Amino acid sequence: MTAALAAGLVALSCTVSAVLVRRDARTFAALLGVAAATLSLAAAASLLDAGVVAAALLVVVAAVVTPLALSAYPVPAWSDPATWLLAALGVACAAVAVASPRLDVDDTAGLVLVLGLVAAGWWRIERAGDPDRQLLLWQAFVVALAVLAPALAEFATNGTGLAVAATLGAAVVPPALAAGLLRRQREVRALVVPVVVGALAGAGYVGVLVTTWKVVRLTDVSVTDGGYALLGFLLALAVAPTTRALRGVVDEVLFGRRPDPLVAARRAAGAIGAAGDDLGAALDAVREALVLPSLVLRVGDEDVAGAGDDTWARTEEVPAGGDPPVVLRVGLRPAEARLGGADADVLRVVGPLLAQTVHAHRLAAELHASRGRVITAVEEERRRLRHDLHDGLGPRLSGMAFTTDAARNVLAGPGDGAPAAAAALLADVRAYAVAAVEEVRGLVAGLRPPALDELGLAGALRQHAADVRRHDGLPLTVTVDAGDLGEVPAATEVAAYRIAVEALTNVARHARATAALVDLDREADVLTLTVTDDDRTATDVGWTPGVGLTSMGQRAEALGGSLAAGPTPDGGRVHARIPTRNG
């Protein structure tokens, strides 16, 4: 009855798992179905008191179907010779176990089969690539736990809990493997390393206690319960440092050696230089140098680049400096609660390099955007000139030509009134010419204010300031304070003039100011322009970027400068810095 229940439980586990993975791994699911059917027959045979048949069916499942199912996980490896050798070994062990009723022969066949499974699994893991390698490691971990459970039960209960532990272990394996397929387990270290370290530390702890107890019994030395308690206390103190030492050893043995921090820092710095502006390649190089699961570069609240997969890894943030602040989100290695000191030092060394790369990316993006705005402004200016020439100056010149032809025709005709009529037409021609001249002057002023050539930047601003009036019609007192500006390039001069004029226009239209100050100063290769007013009621609401503020900012940025505008406790303020370098 007990054997039937055990076989039925494992059959149910295989059936459920086969249904779950029937689309993700059809061969594996089919073999699980075969195992479930065979186990169900074994359970039925056990209930019908056909113990020999039930035992034979269980042997077939354990020695033939199970190895084939493990070989088909996650994908069949039928072309691998190890699969067929394992299948042949399973068939041979099953035949020996069924043919021989001796218990020692069965145990030997089972040991040989287990060793064959270990060898085949190791062979597949060594030859597999990601992500199959991770799934095979997950399979080895699950199967090892299932095999370890009965051994622990045998040790702890002297054989009474062996059947229960073996049944539960066999029933847990199919769902665990199905979960690995469905979730595509990517990080096995987080489970393997702590379990192996715990098992080794626990085995050592128990081994010392049991060995001490055996030695005491053999030598007839009198040891009290307090002595054993003291030994347990001392061993407990040794558990923490032992597990720390074992963690590095186990991780290196199972998953490879990690690089020296100084070597890693040198490799990472070199890789960042070689990657240039490719942030993804630079991060991937740093991640590989430090053997990290993942590395993500965050600027402010935005992830700008990443390498690796942090789906299953715990993360920790390391500041890298910069403005805006750059942060490295580091995926911790398995079994690590926090980033090691040596790794953190390496990241602090390479972090500023990555921050500089981010800064260079940002400057390049800003330059590209500024260049685009300049091109757009130039095209808009050309469009305006074309429209002005076509719609304004063109018709006036055409009118002049037509009127001149009319005057000529009048003079060539008969009659005493011809001279007077021609004179009237010529007067119209003159009016057209005057209007055309004004149109041309307007176009020239739109390209570059004539006052700049006649009076210079400071003089042109003083001339303009004399005519500025507030929105209520009263004059706005404007003071222009300019030091020795020297020779200012034409582009810088026009940009400063346009910005100052627009700023004064905004003061006149929108501010409750009675006076304004235009301050011009030159520091080395930078022209500084500051326009302030005495409107102390100004708030941020009134300084929402519109056409005027946007235009001022674009003029400064087009030459590589900057502009800041907003209210202050003493009034409104527009501050522009425009380079004066030629070229």
Q: What percent of the chain has pLDDT over 70?
A: 78
Q: What local confidence, expressed as pLDDT, does residue 441 receive?
A: 66
10 with 135, same domain: the answer is yes
393-415 average pLDDT score: 71
Q: Which residue has the higher pLDDT, 424 or 271?
A: 424
24 with 141, same domain: the answer is yes
Give the pLDDT confidence of 570-579 residue by residue, as tens digits: 888 899 998 8
Structural domain harbouring 290: 261-364
Is 142's pLDDT higher than 70? yes
Q: Answer whether 386's CB lies under 8 Å from 408's CB.
A: no
Is 583's pLDDT higher than 60? no
Is 475's pLDDT higher than 60? yes
Q: What local confidence, expressed as pLDDT, does residue 519 receive?
A: 92
- The token pair at 22 is 């029937």
97 with 169, same domain: the answer is yes
195 with 77, same domain: the answer is no
Instruction: Please count the CA atoms within 13 angstroms of the CA of 468 that sit on its side-chain side.
Output: 27
CA distance linking residue 251 with residue 193, whole number of Å: 6
Q: How many domains does the chain have?
A: 5
157-169 average pLDDT score: 77
Q: Which residues contact 453 (CB under 8 A, 6 or more apart)?
A: none
Q: Which residue has the higher pLDDT, 99 or 533?
A: 533
When mean pLDDT is compared over 23-32, 305-314, 320-329, 526-535, the highest value belongs to 526-535
When mean pLDDT is compared over 113-127, 242-256, 326-340, the highest value belongs to 113-127
98 with 157, same domain: the answer is yes
201-216 average pLDDT score: 81
462 with 558, same domain: the answer is yes
CATH code of the domain containing 410: 1.20.5
Is 287's pLDDT higher than 80? no
Q: Answer whether 544's CB lies under 8 Å from 538's CB.
A: no
Q: What local confidence, expressed as pLDDT, does residue 159 receive?
A: 66
Quickly list DSSP for 436-448: HHHHHHHHHHHHS
Q: Which residues contact 396 (CB under 8 A, 6 or more apart)?
A: 432, 435, 436, 439
Q: Answer whether 330's CB lies under 8 Å from 307's CB.
A: no
Q: What local confidence, expressed as pLDDT, does residue 103 receive?
A: 54
Boundary (domain end) residue, out of 447, 466, 484: 447
Quickly list DSSP for 344-403: HHHHHHHHHHHHHHHHHHHHHHHHHHHHHHHHHHHHHHHHHHHHHIIIIIHHHHHHHHHH
Boundary (domain end) residue, out of 364, 396, 415: 364
Q: Answer whether 10's CB lies under 8 Å from 167's CB.
A: yes
266 with 413, same domain: the answer is no
158 with 21, same domain: the answer is yes
Amino acid of residue 345: D
525 with 549, same domain: the answer is yes
Q: What local confidence, expressed as pLDDT, does residue 523 receive?
A: 84
Q: How confident is the model at residue 291 (pLDDT cuts 50, 70, 90)?
A: confident
CA distance linking residue 242 with residue 204, whole number of Å: 10
- Residue 350 exposed, middle or buried by CB count within 10 Å (0-12, 13-18, 19+): buried
Which residues, listed in sequence order, are joined to residue 527 by a DSSP beta bridge? 522, 578
369-388 average pLDDT score: 69
158 with 213, same domain: the answer is no
User: Residue 518: phi, psi to the nearest 5?
Assistant: -110, 115
Q: How confident is the model at residue 272 (pLDDT cuts 50, 70, 90)?
A: low
33 with 152, same domain: the answer is yes
Is 106's pLDDT higher than 80? no
248 with 349, same domain: the answer is no
CATH code of the domain containing 488: 3.30.565.10
Mean residue pLDDT of the chain comes to: 77
Boundary (domain end) residue, out of 341, 364, 387: 364
CA distance linking residue 456 with residue 520, whole number of Å: 12
Is 541's pLDDT higher than 60? no
CA distance linking residue 164 with residue 119, whole number of Å: 27
Give the pLDDT confidence of 328-357 residue by residue, as tens digits: 778 776 556 667 677 777 777 777 777 777
Residue among 461, 536, 540 at smallest CA distance from 505? 461
Strand order in the sheet with 302-308: 302-308, 294-299, 326-331, 315-321
191-210 average pLDDT score: 79
Q: Report the sign of the C-alpha dihedral through residues 35, 41, 42, 44, in that order.
A: positive
